[in-house]
């Protein structure tokens, strides 16, 4: 394994495309992360809080897991496991078979890579489509993801263009927006016809049984809304005790992962579609994946379970930057992979990864979960040395080194003996340029200083201590004081607008009297004559829909036919897919991220904010809260419990999966208008 | 005040001149120096390679030698200081009596620049340097000990020196990593060398000789005339170059 790793590393270093792509990733991701954290009032405090929550969760993993399972079941979600990799994949395949699934759409899930789910489903005769743009690209190429957040990190746009031309039969174009449009078109049909949707899970909320999924492209929403069956795969450690805790982790996960204050979409899934609801999966399954996690929980590598899978450690790692994700030979590359792979898949096979690090600590510095990578990597090395044969020079050299250093006399004799011999090696300016193995690795690219003929300990007696000892020790390591979180200052509407516009949303502030005309004018400007709209809502909302009907705009109330009637189902969906815009209200706005919160239920279809290219939302100014946490405490908790699927929407659908170039409207709307009324 | 000097095996056997400079710096700062002559290595190479039983042997030795007096211990190396201050605690986490002794030692162990600035508040050494110095923030010093401003503070008091800080990216050394992952290590080093060369520096200064050995070894191989210096060498106005 180690030899293959070094071979792949050698190839990666010689691959200029990969090197360019990795450099871009490292530089842009780090600056994005720093910027995003700077928008928090007190980043250090939030990070400490997040790390504390993760620690508390992992310390009490079994009890939170039991709580979560119970509440999810009470909500009507069918829970399976915790299961091994093999059993988890089998369980998913069984569910799909029961529903005679032919087409499965998937949003990004690293745990599905870990259990090699696609291979198993395909072997059972099903077609599996990865719908995250990056995953879609690597799937077309028959590759594994190169990064846990940015699967196509290793490719430049020319590579993607070639793949699209050969696999999708489209004209060659290196324009990222055009390629994204192609992907949207190709996958839209799959979303509308899929029998089963599979997702990962970012967080399972123990106290409510809520399944939280974050995506940017809206593919996660498609996959959990349209197909009649939804299967969620979740590593058993991805828990969070409470909704308030979730609010904290949602502040750090997107910032660490992609440098966003919040991802475009956060889905809070509570239960399957109920009787009168407009859409959503009719059956929801949750497959809990153990696959070594519970054993790791009992081991000295427990802290690796703190991970949020944000990928910040990959972006910060100078070794990852040189060799890329594929070199690691595991679903989980980079520093976190070097802990998780040996911990879950075997120390013998993957322990060598812990040595592919200089212990520089860049990963620890950026980790929002508080993992001490250096400590964990060193523990892994300790285990690895005991479990797998080491190179001969280390096996012999380490005891020899210890034996020598255990006695000052021996150390001195060996030192002077070696110094004598090194004098005969060729040198340039006094430094050696060719050393024998195993040190030859050093002198391939560096000169090495010869050992001193007269080491320091032999010189010391000549040195005279002239100090008088006139100073006093008065310093101990200073404690860093954490400041209390101050309440958000300033006008909430102003902040909301600022944040919304930062994420490419469009803000309109008007009176409720002007509102119907503003909406109508906008729809006229995009020549929309058919839109999706929610059913009867508030007085303001109804005055808009009435006005729009008067101007000749047809408003369709989206509702997905039940799975019993497959044919009308697809036709209905295709019909709804023609609408130019979707019009909804929302429960609340969040000033710190420019987010609107949409419920779902009777007359409130998810599709309205999902299928059309433009989404118009009506927000009452008084419903703007400073943060998600404020909203949860002011009634959001009840709203989450009563909505089968609640969505936080922050700007339009977006991707940066190709060369990190931002493109809007991947699967969801490319424009988001928030009409804010007083 | 009296301090115990832990010189590190690398300085002892490869760069004794740096040891002399460290001695001079501490003398100039007015402290009395005691050098326990039976010191060897703190055990870091074996610890980092995963050989914990071996590391424990050398760690116990080091603790015993430095526990003969309760004087502060000063180490002219960020990574050896991290080993003694943090990693000894991890090494003995299942051995409470030794962990207690490690804890006691950790509480009075300092890296050189940290000791000079934080403990002695001594930053003025009447040194001068005609040219530009690029400071290399070494990983263990920066992220392991949280020491960054102290060495810069010392360098900024050097008359005539124009001091810049290099990025905190790792130089690629990593101990055994530099040998058994030599290709990756070299690529990481090359980034650092490029940054040094484009910075227009006349010398590279740092507080970890292992990183400086990697950097100067690389610069020499490239045929560059830029040399590295331990901070103590700059403060005592030694010619740039580790040896």
Domain residues of chain B, as ranges?
2-117, 123-235
Look up the CATH number of the domain holding residue A658: 3.40.50.10420
Structure tokens at B231: 């901070």
The set of long-range contacts for A496-501, using a CB threshold of 8 Å and a minimum separation of 24, is A496/A589, A496/A590, A496/A591, A496/A594, A496/A624, A496/A676, A497/A594, A497/A676, A498/A594, A499/A261, A499/A591, A499/A592, A499/A593, A499/A594, A499/A595, A500/A594, A500/A651, A500/A672, A500/A674, A501/A594
Q: Which residues are bridge partners to A196 per DSSP?
A: A104, A229
Q: How far apart are CA A5 and CA A11, in angstroms?
A: 10
Partners of A581 in beta bridges: A531, A614
Please give the pLDDT value at position B147.
98
Together in a domain, A423 and A561: no
Q: How far apart are the first and last CA of chain A?
A: 64
Together in a domain, A216 and A272 = yes
pLDDT tens for B96-105 read: 999 999 999 9
Question: What's the alpha-carbon Rg for chain A, to the nearest Å?
Answer: 29
Chain A: residue whose CA lies nearest to B48: A378
Q: How many whole angstroms separate alpha carbon A668 and alpha carbon A133?
A: 12
What is the bridge-based pairing of β-strands A203-205 and A210-215? Answer: antiparallel
Identify whether residues A67 and A189 lie together within a single domain.
yes
Rounded Cα–Cα distance for residues A503 and B85 (Å): 45
Is the CB of A355 less than 8 angstroms away from the CB of B16? no
CB B172 to CB A419 under 8 A?
no
Chain B nearest C-alpha distance from A38 (Å):
19
Beta strands in A186-344 (DSSP E): 196-199, 203-205, 210-215, 229-235, 239-240, 265-269, 283-289
Q: Would you state the structure tokens that stand for residue A367, as one six-digit string? A: 């980790």
Mutate to test the interface with A, among B12, B77, B193, B215 (most CBs of A within 10 A): B12
Q: Under an 8 A CB cutoff, do B184 and A442 touch?
A: no
In a domain, A341, yes or no: no
> Tens digits of per-residue pLDDT, A181-225?
999 999 999 999 999 999 999 999 999 999 999 999 999 999 999
Q: Per the domain annotation, does A344 fall within a domain? A: no
Contacts of B185 in chain A (CB under 8 A): 358
Q: Is A358 helix (H, G, I), strand (E, B) or coil?
A: coil
What's the CA gap between A199 and B172, in Å, rounded? Answer: 38
Q: Is residue A463 part of a domain?
A: no
Q: What is the predicted pLDDT for the residue at A627?
A: 95
Number of domains, chain A: 2
* Inter-chain Cβ pairs, chain A and chain B, closer than 8 A: 236
> Per CATH, which fold does B2-117 belong to?
Rossmann fold (3.40.50)
The reply to whether B241 touches chain A by the CB within 8 Å rule is no
- CA of A469: how far to CAs of A672, B3, B24, B92, B236, in Å? 70, 9, 14, 33, 20
Q: Do B139 and A358 touch (CB under 8 A)?
A: yes
Residue A572 lies in a domain: yes
**Protein fold of B123-235:** Rossmann fold (3.40.50)
CB-CB neighbors (< 8 A) of A359 in chain B: 48, 139-140, 174
Residues A65 and A141 in one domain: yes
**Hey, is the C-beta of B212 within 8 angstroms of any chain A C-beta?**
no
- Asked if B2-117 and B123-235 have one fold, the answer is yes
Question: Distance (Å, rounded) from C-alpha B151 to C-alpha B133?
Answer: 12
* A402–B51 CB contact, under 8 Å: yes
Specify the 3-state DSSP secondary structure of B5: strand
Cis check: omega of the bond before A438, within 30 degrees of 0 = yes
B188 CB within 8 Å of a chain A CB? yes
> What's the DSSP call for residue A280?
S
Give contacts of B189 with chain A, Cβ < 8 Å: 445-446
- 């400590």: which residue's tokens? A375
SS3 for A591?
coil
Cβ–Cβ gap A361/B35 under 8 Å: no
Contacts with A399 from chain B: Cβ below 8 Å: 51, 54
Q: Given the DSSP bridges, would you call strands A283-289 and A78-83 parallel, antiparallel or unpaired?
A: parallel
Q: Which of A194, A190, A252 is nearest to A54 (CA)?
A: A252
Q: Which residue of A has its CA nearest to B39?
A: A408
B contacts of A374 (beta carbons < 8 Å):
144
φ/ψ of residue A511, rounded to 5: -85, 160
Nearest-CA neighbor of A68 among A517, A590, A77? A77
My answer on whether A415 and A540 are in the same domain is no
Which run of H or E residues covers position A542? helix A539-550
* Alpha-carbon A370 to chain mean position: 17
SS3 content of chain B, % helix, strand, coil (to 5): 50, 15, 35
Shared domain for A434 and A560, answered yes or no, is no
What was the ipTM of the complex prediction?
A: 0.97
Domain that holds residue A439: 400-454
Shortest Cα distance from B16 to chain A (angstroms)? 4
* pLDDT for the residue numbered A469: 54
Strands A265-269 and A645-649: antiparallel
Six-digit token string for B24:
């001079």
* Inside any domain, residue A29: no
| A-chain residues near B57 (CB < 8 A) | 402, 406
pLDDT of residue A475: 38
Question: What's the confidence (pLDDT) of residue B204?
Answer: 98
Q: Which strand (E) or helix (H) includes residue A220? A: helix A219-225
Mean pLDDT across chain B: 97
Strand partners for A287: A80, A233
Q: Does B4 touch chain A (CB under 8 A)?
A: no
Place of tokens 């799937």: A139
| Judgement on whether residues A126 and A81 belong to the same structural domain of the protein | yes
- What's the rounded Cα separation, in Å, for the pair B86 and B111? 13
Residues 6+ away with beta carbon under 8 Å from A343 = A292, A296, A299, A301, A304, A380
Chain A partners of B182 at a C-beta cutoff of 8 Å?
441-442, 444-445
Residues whose CB falls within 8 Å of the CB of residue A123, separated by 6 or more in sequence, listed in order:
none
B2 touches chain A (CB under 8 A): yes
**Chain A touched by B45 (CB under 8 Å):** yes
Could you give the CA distance from residue B171 to residue B136 in angstroms, rounded to a whole number?
9
Identify which of B32, B243, B233 has the alpha carbon closest to the alpha carbon of residue A464: B32
B112 confidence band (pLDDT: 50, 70, 90): very high
Q: How far apart are CA A132 and CA A657, in angstroms?
A: 9
Q: What is the mean pLDDT of each run of 10 residues along chain A (678 residues)?
A: 95 96 93 95 97 98 98 98 97 97 97 97 97 97 95 94 97 96 96 97 98 97 97 98 98 97 98 93 98 97 98 98 97 97 96 98 98 98 96 94 97 95 90 93 96 95 71 40 44 94 96 94 94 87 93 94 78 94 97 96 95 97 95 96 96 94 96 95
Q: Which of residues 86-105 of B touch A (CB under 8 A)?
A: 87, 90
């Amino acid at each position: 394994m180690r030899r293959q790793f070094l071979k792949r590393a050698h190839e990666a270093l010689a691959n200029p495309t990969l090197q360019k792509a990795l450099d871009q990733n490292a530089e842009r991701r780090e600056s994005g992360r720093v910027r995003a954290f700077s928008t928090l009032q007190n980043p250090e405090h939030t990070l400490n809080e997040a790390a504390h929550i993760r620690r508390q969760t992992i310390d009490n993993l079994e009890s939170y897991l039991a709580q979560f399972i119970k509440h999810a079941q009470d909500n009507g979600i069918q829970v399976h496991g915790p299961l091994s990799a093999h059993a988890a994949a089998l369980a998913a395949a069984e569910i799909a078979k029961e529903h005679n699934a032919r087409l499965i759409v998937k949003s990004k899930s690293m745990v599905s890579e870990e259990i090699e789910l696609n291979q198993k489903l395909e072997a059972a005769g099903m077609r599996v489509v990865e719908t995250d743009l990056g995953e879609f690209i690597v799937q077309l190429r028959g590759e594994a993801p190169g990064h846990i957040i940015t699967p196509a990190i290793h490719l430049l746009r020319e590579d993607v263009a070639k793949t699209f031309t050969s696999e999708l039969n489209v004209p060659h174009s290196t324009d990222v927006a055009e390629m994204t449009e192609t992907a949207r078109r190709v996958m839209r049909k799959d979303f509308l016809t899929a029998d089963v949707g599979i997702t990962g899970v970012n967080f399972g909320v123990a106290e409510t049984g809520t399944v939280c999924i974050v995506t940017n492209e809206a593919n996660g929403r498609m996959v959990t809304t349209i197909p009649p069956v939804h299967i969620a795969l979740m590593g058993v450690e991805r828990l969070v005790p409470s909704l308030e805790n979730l609010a904290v982790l949602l502040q750090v996960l997107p910032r660490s992962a992609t440098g966003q204050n919040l991802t475009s979409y956060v889905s809070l899934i509570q239960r399957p579609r109920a009787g009168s609801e407009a859409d959503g999966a009719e059956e929801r399954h949750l497959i809990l994946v153990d696959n070594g996690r519970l054993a790791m929980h009992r081991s000295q590598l427990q802290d690796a379970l703190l991970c949020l899978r944000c990928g910040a450690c990959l972006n910060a790692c100078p070794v990852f930057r040189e060799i890329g994700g594929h070199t690691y030979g595991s679903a989980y590359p980079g520093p976190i992979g070097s802990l998780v792979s040996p911990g879950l898949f075997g120390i013998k096979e993957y322990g060598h990864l812990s040595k592919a690090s200089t212990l520089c600590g860049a990963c620890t510095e950026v980790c929002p979960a508080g993992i001490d990578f250096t400590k964990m990597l060193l523990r892994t090395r300790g285990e690895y040395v005991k479990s797998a044969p080491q190179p001969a020079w280390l096996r012999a050299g380490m005891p020899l080194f210890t034996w020598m250093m255990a006695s000052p006399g021996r150390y001195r004799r060996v030192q002077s003996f070696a110094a004598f011999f090194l004098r005969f090696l060729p040198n340039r300016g006094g430094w050696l340029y060719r050393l024998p193995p195993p040190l030859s690795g050093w002198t391939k690219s560096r000169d090495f200083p010869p050992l001193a003929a007269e080491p320091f300990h032999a010189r010391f007696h000549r040195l005279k201590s002239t100090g008088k000892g006139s100073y006093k020790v008065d310093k101990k390591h200073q404690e860093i004081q954490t400041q209390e979180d101050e309440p958000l200052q300033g006008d909430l509407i102003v902040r909301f607008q600022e944040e919304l516009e930062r994420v490419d949303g469009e803000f309109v502030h008007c009176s409720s009297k002007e509102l119907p005309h503003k909406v109508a004018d906008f729809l006229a400007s995009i020549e929309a004559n058919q839109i999706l709209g929610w059913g009867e809502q508030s007085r303001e909302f109804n005055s808009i829909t009435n006005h729009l009907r008067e101007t000749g705009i047809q408003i369709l109330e989206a509702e997905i036919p039940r799975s019993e009637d497959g044919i009308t189902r697809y036709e209905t969906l295709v019909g709804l897919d023609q609408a130019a815009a979707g019009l909804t209200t929302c429960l609340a706005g969040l000033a710190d991220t420019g987010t609107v919160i949409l419920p779902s239920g009777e007359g409130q279809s998810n599709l309205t904010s999902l299928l059309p290219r433009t989404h118009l939302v009506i927000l009452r100014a008084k419903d703007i809260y400073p943060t998600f946490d404020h909203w949860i405490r002011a009634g959001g908790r009840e709203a989450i419990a009563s909505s089968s699927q609640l969505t936080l929407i922050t700007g339009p659908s977006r991707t940066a999966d190709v060369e990190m170039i931002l493109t809007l409207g991947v699967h969801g709307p490319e424009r988001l208008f928030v009409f804010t009324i007083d | 005040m009296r301090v115990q000097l832990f010189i590190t095996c690398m300085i002892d056997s490869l760069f004794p001149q740096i040891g002399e400079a460290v001695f001079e710096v501490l003398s100039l700062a007015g402290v009395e120096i005691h050098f326990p002559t039976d010191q060897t290595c703190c055990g870091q190479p074996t610890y980092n390679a995963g050989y914990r039983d071996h590391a424990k042997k050398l760690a116990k030795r080091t603790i015993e030698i430095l526990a003969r007096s309760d004087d502060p211990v000063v180490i002219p190396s960020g990574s050896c200081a991290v080993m003694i201050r943090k990693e000894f605690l991890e090494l003995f986490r299942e051995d409470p009596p030794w962990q207690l002794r490690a804890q006691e030692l950790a509480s009075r162990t300092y890296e050189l620049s940290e000791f000079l600035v934080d403990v002695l508040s001594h930053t003025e050494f009447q040194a001068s340097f005609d040219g530009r110095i690029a400071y290399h923030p070494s990983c263990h010093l920066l992220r392991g000990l949280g020491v960054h401003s102290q060495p810069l503070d010392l360098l900024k008091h050097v008359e005539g020196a124009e001091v810049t800080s290099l990025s905190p990216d790792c130089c690629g050394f990593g101990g055994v990593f530099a040998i058994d992952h030599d290709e990756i290590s070299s690529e990481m080093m090359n980034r650092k060398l490029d940054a040094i060369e484009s910075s227009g520096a006349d010398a590279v200064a740092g507080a970890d000789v292992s990183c400086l050995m990697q950097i100067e070894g690389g610069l020499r191989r490239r045929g560059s005339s830029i040399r590295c210096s331990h901070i103590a060498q700059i403060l005592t106005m030694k010619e740039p170059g580790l040896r």
